[in-house]
Amino acid sequence: MKIQRRNKANPEFSLAAMTDVILLMLIFFMVTSSAANQSAIDVKLPKADTAADNIPNPLVVSVKPNGSYFVDDNPVNRGELEQTIVNKLTGQANKSFTIRADENTLHKDVVFVMEIAEKHKFNIAIATVKDK
């Protein structure tokens, strides 16, 4: 005599729950990745009529209105700035960095950073915000 069980385990796998989880993870990572490029140094960027494509650079040099310099959100003295930039870009395939200067920063402080790039043949980008 063959005895059958009434409650059999259903081996089917529902993809609906997994699809929801993957969609939520995708949205989470898209939102957090756009905020990841934001620097902690508070500078008011100058406005521009046109905005170029956002090309990420491995290094960001921020210049505050008081003439203080920051490399990747770390404060750096003016005398050590060149060596810090060179050390950070050594071994990088893309030898470029972005200058984030406050709109009230003195021109001489920005030119100082640009001269470092010219001396070592680094490419630079100057960060701006699009004028509305």
Please report which confidence band the pLDDT of residue 12 belongs to, taking 50, 70 and 90 as the band edges. Answer: confident
Please report which confidence band the pLDDT of residue 48 belongs to, taking 50, 70 and 90 as the band edges. Answer: low
What are the tens digits of pLDDT across the range 49-92?
A: 665 555 666 789 999 999 999 999 899 999 999 999 999 998 88
Least confident of 10-19, 43-52, 87-96: 43-52
Task: Kindly list the distances between the CA atom of residue 126 and the CA atoms of 8, 22, 55, 78, 81, in Å, as whole numbers in the listed order.
Answer: 66, 37, 11, 19, 17
Task: Kindly list the distances between the CA atom of residue 44 and the CA atoms of 38, 56, 60, 104, in Å, as whole numbers in the listed order.
Answer: 13, 19, 15, 8
Query: Is 70 exceeded by the pLDDT of residue 107?
Result: yes
